[in-house]
Amino acid sequence: KNEVEQSPQNLTAQEGEFITINCSYSVGISALHWLQQHPGGGIVSLFMLSSGKKKHGRLIATINIQEKHSSLHITASHPRDSAVYICAVRSGTYKYIFGTGTRLKVLA
């Protein structure tokens, strides 16, 4: 079993839908990151969380440390949100453990 599990692996939504991507982890962490990988391959950091909730535009990320779970929400989804969303946890001094990603496709 992977130390970082994401669900779903693939997700197709209609434009305007509310989307939730989940990340569960089994190790102790000091921070959790959400990343977005564009179809061309480039990766950008969306959020870094150690507790609570963060919001940026239409994106909201939450983390529950006790339950070892984080969610990424996208409100009013748009085709430009189509990408792979990656959860990564920082465990230890330098070690990051990455999930395998959730592939999101938003249809117009």
Partner 1 sequence: DADVTQTPRNRITKTGKRIMLECSQTKGHDRMYWYRQDPGLGLRLIYYSFDVKDINKGEISDGYSVSRQAQAKFSLSLESAIPNQTALYFCATSENVGYEQFFGPGTRLTVL
User: What is the 8-class DSSP label of residue 83?
Assistant: E
Compute the distance between CA of residue 54 and CA of residue 91 in angstroms, rounded to an integer. Answer: 20
Which residue number, 7 or 100, has a Cβ lying nearer to partner 1? 100
Q: Is 88 in the site for partner 1 (CB under 8 A)?
A: yes
Among 21, 99, 102, 106, binds partner 1 (CB under 8 A): 99
**Min CB(83)–partner 1 separation in Å:** 13
Region for residue 39 given its phi and psi (left: phi exceeds 0; alpha: psi -120 to 50; beta: otherwise): alpha
Q: Is 57 in the site for partner 1 (CB under 8 A)?
A: no
Q: CB of 97 within 8 A of CB of 4?
A: yes
Binding site for partner 1 (CB under 8 A): 2, 4, 30-31, 33, 35, 40-45, 48, 86, 88, 90, 93-101
